[in-house]
Amino acid sequence: MNEPQPGPDPAAGPPQLPGPYLAPGPYAGGTAWPAGPPQPLPNPPPNPPQWAHPAPYSGPYPGPYPGPHPWGPPPPRARWDVPPPPGTRYDRLARTASHRWWRPIAGTLAIIVAFLALSIALGLVAFIVSLVTGVPMVRSGTRLFADPVVDLGFQLGVIALLLPLVLGAAWLFQRRPPGSLSSVALRLRWRWLGVCLLVALVAVVLGQAVEAVTLMSAGVDPGFRWAGWEEFLPAIVVILLLVPFQSAAEEYAYRGWIIQGFGAYLRTPWPAILVGAAAFAASHGYTGWGIVYVFAFGMLMGWLAVRTGGLEAPIALHATNNVVAFGVVAASGDMGSAMEQGEVPWEALIGSAVQFAVFGIGVLIIARKWAIQTLSR
């Protein structure tokens, strides 16, 4: 039967070192160390020094250096184009934080030089194409090609080149979003443009009807004829494809660039609207009452651009008016006179006045009802 072994006596205190130390090894049997009082066993300190038990690395290296650069994408670069501040009117959209006095001037000169250079280059290309394909050229007056449909398409295409030039100048020289030429929303508002097109169609049809009645009552032929589908279809295809771009290009140049260019210096839009309308009239070949019509058209388009906060309304009326005007000429089969501009009888201004009134009032009523944005956000 196993008997319990005696355990350590708790009253004896901590364990003691053994008695006199005898040197081991080859010195055994030598003089023993003198016995001393019992010594307690050393206990480890509660917080050992760092040199005794170094902890593993768990943070950045000490010292003046912040440590390695954290992984991740680089910080975004500053934008080249600077948007206008909130609450800016359409004619003042070019006055951004990057505006300098020379930017509108340099951009205007660049547009003029680039447009002239491109026009000359396209003229040379047209001459080479004429030699290769055998399409005759006349090079007299405003005509370049003998075929009136080809000539109309070429001239409309050359005018449409103003559109990318103006948008590019706004981005490159003025360092602002190109969409700021379109509207205060910094883009073309397509839904609003569609509504303006419907109003423009009504206004143009009413204006054409009143003009025809007025001309016939005065004994003037309004020029409505039908030459047949064979002559109408090729012409109307070219008209529908290119007239919207030609009209938009003129609006971006005369109502967008000019009005906002002056707006970068002036607080009132009226001098810019006046200059834009004068430049628009000077670029056409009308005489007499025709100059009055084109100038009034430019004034109305400039005023509507500022009042509605964008070019949607001017583009809608300009494109609709030109499509209908060219379409009437195409239906008559007299495409040779499509680009001819000259004297306009004063009776025609009555129909134009009806067109302007219907479109202007209709657009303003819908814009107010729909709360169309007129200031930048």
Q: For 315-341, what is each residue's pLDDT tens digit?
A: 999 999 999 999 999 998 888 777 778
Give the side-chain half-sphere CA count within 13 A for 222: 21
Q: How large is the average pLDDT for residues 267-292? A: 94
Summary mean pLDDT of the chain: 85
Assess contact for 241 and 248: CB atoms under 8 A.
no
Helical segments of the chain, H only: 103-133, 148-160, 162-172, 190-217, 229-251, 258-263, 270-282, 289-308, 312-332, 348-370
- pTM assigned to the model: 0.79
Distance CA 184, CA 375 (A): 6
In what helix (H) or strand (E) does residue 143 lie, and over which residues does it extend?
Answer: strand 143-145
Nearest to 253 by CA among 367, 120, 330, 158: 158
Antiparallel, parallel or unpaired: β 143-145 and 137-140? antiparallel
- 11 pLDDT tier (thresholds 50, 70, 90): low
Question: What is the secondary structure of 271-315 as a DSSP string?
Answer: HHHHHHHHHHHHTS--BTHHHHHHHHHHHHHHHHHHHHTBSHHHH
Top pLDDT among 369 and 34 is at 369
